[in-house]
Structure formats: C-alpha cells, structure tokens
Amino acid sequence: MTATTARAAATTEAPDAVCTVRGLRVALAAGDVDVVDGIDLTLRPGEVVGLVGESGSGKTTIGTALLGHARAGAVIDAGEVVVDGHEVLGLSDDDVRLLRGEHVAYMPQDPASALNPSIRIGRQIVELLELRGIDTPAGRLERARAGLAEVGLPDDDAFLDRYPHQLSGGQVQRVALAMAFLPRPKVLVLDEPTTGLDVTTQTLVLETMDRLCEAHGVAALYVTHDLAVIGTVADRVAVVYAGRIVELGRREQVFSAPTHPYTRALLDAIPHVSQARALAGIPGRTPQPGNRPSGCRFHDRCVFATDACATTEPVPVELDTDHWARCLRTDELGPWDIDLGRVPDAPPSVERDVVLAVEGLNVSYGRTQVVHDVSFDLARGECVALVGESGSGKTTISRAVGGLHRQWTGRIRFEDHELARSSRRRTGDDRRRIQYIFQNPYLSLNPRQTVGQLVRRPMELFGLARGSQATDRVVDLLDAVALGPAVLDLRTDRLSGGERQRVAIARALAAQPDVLVCDEITSALDVSVQGSIVELLDHLRTQRGIAMLFVTHNLALVRSIATRVDILSAGRLVESGPVVEVMEHPQQEYTRTLLAHTPRID
C-alpha cells in the first residue's frame, strides 16, 4: 500500500451530498480549548454513516452540531455545516429552529425523555405536525396513523390513547423514529438509539431505521460506541478519538482492514458470539479537552507509537478509494487478524462448588406472576448469565436474589442456609457477601456524595476499613476499575455514564463480596471500558473465587465472560447449560432466534 497525503480527499464533497461538514471546530466558551476540531464529513441520501468512539471522544458534539447546537459551556467557532442547501451556522436562532425537524431531525439516546409523560402518544404526534403547519386536523391524524404503521406499530385508537409509560422500550424507540420521519427531514442524527435494548428489539429498531432511510432518501448519522451494531447497519464508518476523526471508510474497509491503531484496539475489544475472547480494555484513558497530548492524540495509549508520534501531528493518509486514516505508520502496521484474542471456551464439565441455589422461584408484582418455577445454581468462581428479551424476568430474578423484591415464593439457599426474602431481614454478613450492581448508575449513586465517599461507605458500614486505610483501598479500587484517584473528590454529575457505572462496581467490590449480582452493568459502556470491566470481573472470579450472576441481553458478551447460561422467555427458563453447548448447539427455537439477532462483525 502506498501512503499518500490525502487532505484533499478527506474534504472533497460528494456531488450528491445532502449534508457537508467542513473544518468543524467546537470549543469551550471559557477559553481556546477545542472539544472537536478539523471535522470533515459528508452524508448522502439513503446512506447511514456510523460515528464511533469512546465516551468523551466528541461523537455527540459532532452530531448535535449538525443541528446548529453546542452544549452549555461550548460554542461552534469555526467551520461549515451545510444541510439540504442551508448553511446552518450562518442562520439566526429562529431560522435554525425552523430547520430542525423539517430538514434535520434528532433522535436522543433516551427517547422516553423526549416524550411528554402526561400527553397521549397520538396527541404528541399530531401536535408535532401542527407545529410544522403540516396538513389539516383530519389529515394530521391520518398521517400519525400512517407514521406508526410505517414503523411497525399499531395505528388504532387504543394505541394512540396510550401514554409513554405504557409502552415498552422498543415501542418508545419506534414512536420516536416515526416522529422523526414524519416531517420528512433530509438528515437524521441518531444518538445511541438502541443502547440498553435487547437484541430482538434492537434488530427491529435498526431494520426499521434502515428501511425508512432507504425509502425516503434520508441520510443518517448514527452515533454509537457499539461497533458490532455499526457493522450491521452502516454504509460508511467514521472513527472519532479525542475530538478528531482518525479513520473513515466504507464499512467493509474499516472492518476488514482497520489501519489506525485506535480502530484496531476498539475492534479487538469487541466480544464475538462465535468465539470466546480474552477481552481487555485499551490502556489509559481518553484525554479530555485541555489535556490532550501533542502530536498524535492517541500516541500515549498506542502500542505502535514511536518518538515521532509524540511530536508530529498526523494528516489524513489515503489508503484506498473512500478510505483514509490519520496515522504516521499506516505502511508499517501489517494486516489485522479478527481472531486476535481468541481463547478456548469454558470447559462444559468441571467440578462445581455450589454457593447459591435458586429452587422453584415464583415472583409476582401484585396479582401478576412474572417468574414461573425457575431453578438454577451458582458455583464459587463461576459466572452464570441470565439472558432474555426485555420483560423475560431477568432483573426480577436478580432482585429476588439480592433481597430487593419480597413478593416471591420458593427457596434461595446461600451456602448452608436459606436466605430471607427481604434484604432488611437478612443478616449483615449476608448483605455484605451478596452485592448488587444496578443497571442505571444515574439512579443508584447519591449525587450529593463524592466518589471517595460513595466507595468508602460500604467499608465503614461493614467495619472493613476506616481512616487512611479506607482511603488507600478506595484509590486501589478506583484504579482497578480504570478511573484512578483523579475522580476521588468529584461528584457524579461530573462523570459520564460509563464512569458512573465503574464507580458503582468499585462500591460493590468495597464490601469484599462472595457473590456479585450484575444487572446489565455493561450495557451502556464503551467496548474498551467493557473490556476492562470484563477483565476485572474475570480476575475476581478466577483469583478470588467470587461467584457472579450476570444479567444481560448480550449473547456475544456471554460467550466471553460466562461459564454457564440460562435462557429466559416470559418468566420461564427455556434452556440452560454450559455456554459452549448452548451457543454451538441451541435446542430451543427461542435461543436460536436470540443468536440470529445478535450483531456480529465476523
């Protein structure tokens, strides 16, 4: 491959582009510190462009800039953003508001937060059309019905009369898609729209989005940290690191021949449903605005870096048609192997020392039974995965194990004794030894306390450490979850979602537990952070003998982290066994469906 400087190639506008970004720079308003810089990007009708990178890389900043928006404390201070012939950055505030929705639409990470919980779904959709002056009152209602039908939702009066809280997560996502497409925009910005969804619902949302983009000629910018999802939906992929695009190309180019070391590191951190992998995070942390290194911004984390990388800022280098990377060593890295990191599957038959046994568990909410006669066990040093779609009963079972839900019958035995139904009625030692890590760290962490106080509290509560000894242990735990002492005195509002989740994990480990109940704890994490968390959990499991009940919808992750897997459907256990046997030879159609819907890059 001949490396040629390709600045011109990186900025050339496609003749049919519906959105063009040139030299975009977003900076902090308080000083000359860039959040993103030198962003060049084109979007074509009907095309999906994936924008990927770790938290803090600037993905969402780039996405919202297409709508002429910068978050509080930041300003768009250079560049051009042209959408459907309109230079967005030169418009007045009133004109930008008119542009949003009609020419460029936005779908947030949590669509439920964008819907008014006190207004029925049908009224919200009709109101959207009213604000845009679209059609007559009767015509708006028909458009609302057609929009819902287009995304595969019911269009009858009963559905239109529902409130947002009466819909499932996947239904809320599709309502948001319908509302985004109804004004027929030319560009759609999707900000992590399937994070936290089970694989079946995720597949449905992605297929709906892809079909609508193609049918209406809408260009989509898909912002995500999940490369496996991008590998199934994107036409082109832009990889962002520390505020700059470091590699851009067609999907097949980036996934088969990644050239920037950062792209390779992200791909190496992805779990595969077809093979077990030794997952690990990328050493170091994404540098924040104002603390970014000179030269190549990735050089301090790069295994290929030389002295020149620390002083020379790389320019885009053309690798192939429509494929370039910002790296000084594009000719020297050699081919990339997708099987790098592959390890043997957990052996299906090993001697097990059962520490926790669930027998005939039935769980109800009021008069509604949601879990039916579920039995499984968990051995010391073993990770058992509970897998299923949303509503299958995974979290309900885990909450019963953790003593957080009292309305259940059956037995849960911990070592040589039976656990009480409520954590309040369990002994202090049982509460310490069984620790629960919640899916949503925004709700599980006290926003008034610092990180140090949050992690220290279990040590003091259970009499494990105090004073300087507790502080030293807090620092060690923060290092173990890839945060470090820099966050010790910060409150959680200063942290990203992934950073908050790592604090929650550190807090659980502070109690020195024997059983960890992990409820979707990696669903919102970057693949690199997920890799470091999985590496940490695997170390705790193998070296300290901690048993783990791992609730997830990610079967690819199960292949790499779990030894056994229990598949749930509608509150019933439909398949159970060693991971390799269930993955390679599923016996139930439901299991085969979940495997078929799991995104994969291989």
What does the pLDDT look like over 353-373, one tens digit per residue?
Answer: 999 999 999 999 989 999 999
Over 60: is that where the pLDDT of 352 sits?
yes
Per-residue pLDDT tens over the stretch 126-167: 998 888 787 788 889 999 999 999 888 899 999 999 998 888
Cβ neighbourhood burial of 259 (10 Å; 0-12, 13-18, 19+): buried
The C-alpha atoms of residue 289 and residue 30 are separated, in whole angstroms, by 12
> Structure tokens of 197?
């969804």
- Altogether, the residues listed in the chain come to a count of 602
DSSP state of 191: E
Per-residue pLDDT tens over the stretch 26-38: 999 876 899 999 9
Over 70: is that where the pLDDT of 119 sits?
yes
Domain with CATH 3.40.50.300 in the chain: 4-103+185-325, 354-450+512-597
Q: What is the distance between the terminal CA atoms of the chain, rounded to a whole angstrom?
A: 24
Cβ neighbourhood burial of 114 (10 Å; 0-12, 13-18, 19+): middle
Contact, 174 vs 154, CB < 8 A?
no
Confidence at 13, pLDDT banded by 50, 70, 90: very low
Over 80: is that where the pLDDT of 315 sits?
yes
Q: What is the pLDDT of residue 559?
A: 92
> Structure tokens of 334?
């050699």
Instruction: Specify the range with the lowest mean pLDDT, choosing from 274-288, 363-377, 466-480.
Output: 274-288
* Average pLDDT of the residues of the chain: 89
Could you count the other beta carbons within 10 Å of the beta carbon of residue 217?
13
The C-alpha atoms of residue 470 and residue 466 are separated, in whole angstroms, by 5
Q: What is the pLDDT of residue 602?
A: 65
Contacts of residue 50, defined as CB under 8 A and 6 or more positions apart, other chains included, come to 222, 224, 230, 233, 234, 236, 237, 238, 251
Over 70: is that where the pLDDT of 110 sits?
yes
**DSSP-based three-state secondary structure for 393:** coil
| Beta bridge mates, 121 | none
Over 70: is that where the pLDDT of 239 sits?
yes
More confident residue, 378 or 193: 378
Q: Which CATH code for domain 4-103+185-325?
A: 3.40.50.300
The C-alpha atoms of residue 43 and residue 83 are separated, in whole angstroms, by 9
Tell me which amino acid residue 409 is.
Answer: T
> What sign does the dihedral 384-387-390-392 (CA atoms) show?
negative
Per-residue pLDDT tens over the stretch 367-396: 999 999 999 999 999 999 999 988 889 999
| Beta bridge mates, 552 | 387
The C-alpha atoms of residue 447 and residue 443 are separated, in whole angstroms, by 9
Over 60: is that where the pLDDT of 1 sits?
no
Confidence at 441, pLDDT banded by 50, 70, 90: confident
Contacts of residue 368, defined as CB under 8 A and 6 or more positions apart, other chains included, come to none
Sheet of 434-437: strand order equals 434-437, 515-519, 547-552, 383-387, 564-569, 572-578
Mean pLDDT is highest, among 7-16, 65-74, 162-171, 278-287, for 65-74
- pTM for the whole structure: 0.86
What are the CB-based long-range contacts (under 8 Å, 24+) for 172-175? 172/111, 172/112, 172/115, 173/111, 173/197, 173/201, 173/205, 174/204, 174/205, 174/208, 175/111, 175/115, 175/121, 175/125, 175/148, 175/151
> Structure tokens of 173?
């996502």
> Structure tokens of 516?
């960890």
Contact, 478 vs 451, CB < 8 A?
yes
Q: What is the pLDDT of residue 6?
A: 39
> What sign does the dihedral 581-582-584-585 (CA atoms) show?
positive
Over 80: is that where the pLDDT of 8 sits?
no
Mean pLDDT of 585-595: 94
Instruction: Specify the range with the lowest mean pLDDT, choosing from 42-51, 132-141, 174-183, 205-214.
Output: 132-141
Q: What is the pLDDT of residue 337?
A: 87
Closest by CA to 219, choosing from 249, 190, 248, 178, is 190
Q: How distant, in Å, are the alpha carbons of 8, 197, 357, 373, 519 from that of 369?
A: 63, 23, 21, 11, 21
The C-alpha atoms of residue 148 and residue 435 are separated, in whole angstroms, by 42
**DSSP-based three-state secondary structure for 70:** coil
Gyration radius from the chain CA atoms: 25
* Residue-by-residue DSSP string for 461-516: HTTS--HHHHHHHHHHHHHHTT--GGGTT-BGGGS-HHHHHHHHHHHHHTT--SEE
Cβ neighbourhood burial of 73 (10 Å; 0-12, 13-18, 19+): exposed
Confidence at 9, pLDDT banded by 50, 70, 90: very low
More confident residue, 453 or 113: 453
Q: What is the pLDDT of residue 418?
A: 95
Q: What is the pLDDT of residue 244?
A: 95
Closest by CA to 201, choosing from 553, 524, 572, is 553
Mean pLDDT of 229-249: 94
Give, in words, the CATH class of 354-450+512-597: alpha beta
Burial 327-362 (b: 16+ CB within 10 A, else e): bbbbeeeeeeebeebeeebbeeeeeeeebbbbeebb
More confident residue, 3 or 95: 95
The C-alpha atoms of residue 52 and residue 34 are separated, in whole angstroms, by 19
Mean pLDDT of 189-214: 85
